[in-house]
Structure 1
């Protein structure tokens, strides 16, 4: 994939799992590279996730400009680790209804999917092994958009840290990215940032929020304002809804706002 050429071309990659759960029905665009999940041993979820992330790292490293479609947020570890092999400095734009800034010490649920941004910024040092070679992203290089649904301790951690918080608004995002200077940007979007009424079958709908059209505007603005060297769509629908027509439609529109076309194979039977 790495020799495809044009800087505006996206290399589509699919990681069909949520945390450590394989999702057989995860939709697969016709031109995407599918990361085959390795056989996972019984044991703690974090150890199983490490094996999945190692598999994803290989695909990301071979991609010139990865756009990852995934069923969760934590696999972002593999994408950032891969991008860091080519970009010493990297900024992160994170659009999410949640902060994903929990850690094992403050989480009330222990849900690892709610710790993904904390993982990137080095706040979970003992959760995984270091096989990815991931370097913590400085919090001053992180822009968190929306995050309307926060746990109390998570809210306090964000307030005490250096992550820049902005609304999911194109002008606010453009301004925040401009303050970072000419640094390459990795864009991460969890579909639950979209108003819950527009997300049938989502795992974690978060009630009223920006519309799909507003989020499309945010993605387009980010792409126009900075150099996007990688992107990630966390498509966290319930497994039985992952391949719904409405789910594919949402993924297609979000990818198009980034300048990528998702071509879906014809269903069996024509």
Structure 2
């Protein structure tokens, strides 16, 4: 098992998929570990996703301080399961334009990407196999920032939960993290939390919201306030935009705000 880094540096991991769809264009920074996309059998999407999450789990478990760059949110199951192998208690800071708090019983679309936080809090029993050995995160240990785009039933579920909801601004995030006490924090960011006008090519833009600069300030504040033991950036761009220059620049700015030093390989070809 990897030991926690004392110098605060990050171990970059790339998981190049969205649900069970391979996104080969998702770029890999220099020195990052790219999780190999395995050959998936035909079958239900959750079963195929389980195999991908198992592959990601291995990379996260071996990393001392993982920073995952992914094409979706549900692979956070693997990130959190890996962290739970070394941290008995764990809190979650989740920055997202959506709540990701739907479950199979309340979702109107059945879209699994909209259930990622519900998965972590134990609201999707039986959806996946139990090979990750993932323990539910208590609602009281979850801070959800922004979540401006909610389905009605999802809003009700959040209202009756003990998830702490805050705006995506540094002061609110600092206060919420301070209330959690001295507990390691998993930081999760979906790029769609950023104002849709600044995200060309996003799969699910959510209209006006915090600027990229404001989100950078939120990330920096979180790192100053809490013990961020892992971070995850879900870059849910359309496949043809996943590796373009604008997407890379956005990821570079977000990772820099987390204190990561990220470089990209030189482009090849004519």
TM-score range, shorter chain: over 0.9
> 4+ runs of 1 displaced by more than 4 Å?
none
Give the corresponding residue for 1:125. Answer: 125
Counterpart residue number, 1:224: 224
Residue segments in structure 2 that go unaligned for 5+ positions in a row = none
Cα separation, partners in 2 of 1:155 and 1:244, compared to 1, 3 Å? same
Q: Does 1:28 align with 2:28?
A: yes
Deviation at 1:261, TM superposition (A): 1.5
1:13 alignment counterpart: 13
Superposition map of 1:151-190 within 5 A: 151-190=151-190
- Give the length in aligned residue pairs: 270
Partner of 1:247: 247
What's the counterpart of residue 86 of structure 2? Answer: 86
Instruction: Tell me if the contact between 2:95 and 2:188 (Cα under 8 Å) persists in the aligned partners.
Output: yes
* 1:185-204 C-alpha deviation (Å, 9 max, x unpaired): 00000000000000000000
Q: Secondary structure at the match of 1:188?
A: strand
Kindly indicate whether the alpha-carbon contact (under 8 Å) linking 2:4 and 2:65 is maintained by their aligned counterparts in 1: no
Give the whole-Å Cα distance in 2 for the aligned partners of 1:262 and 1:80.
23
Which residue number in structure 1 is paired with residue 37 of structure 2? 37
Cα shift at 1:38: 1.2
Q: Secondary structure at the match of 1:93?
A: strand
The equivalent of 1:111 in structure 2 is 111
**Where does residue 203 of structure 1 map in the other structure?**
203
Specify every segment of 5 or more residues in structure 1 that has no aligned partner in the other structure, as ranges.
none
Where does 1:28-107 land on structure 2 (aligned, <5 Å)? 28-107=28-107
C-alpha separation in 2, matches of 1:52 and 1:269: 30
Q: Give the root-mean-square deviation of aligned CA atoms.
A: 1.2
Q: Any idea what the Cα deviations from partners look like across 1:85-140, whole Å, max 9, x if unmatched?
A: 00000000000000000000000000000000000000001100100010000000
SS in structure 2 at match of 1:114: helix
Matches of 1:72 and 1:263 in 2, distance apart? 22
CA displacement at 1:3 relative to structure 2: 6.4
> TM-score, length-normalised on structure 2?
0.98
| 2:155 alignment partner, SS class | helix
Structure 1 residue 219 displacement after superposition: 0.1
Distance in structure 2 (CA, Å) of the matches to 1:139 and 1:37: 32
Q: CA deviation at 1:6?
A: 3.3
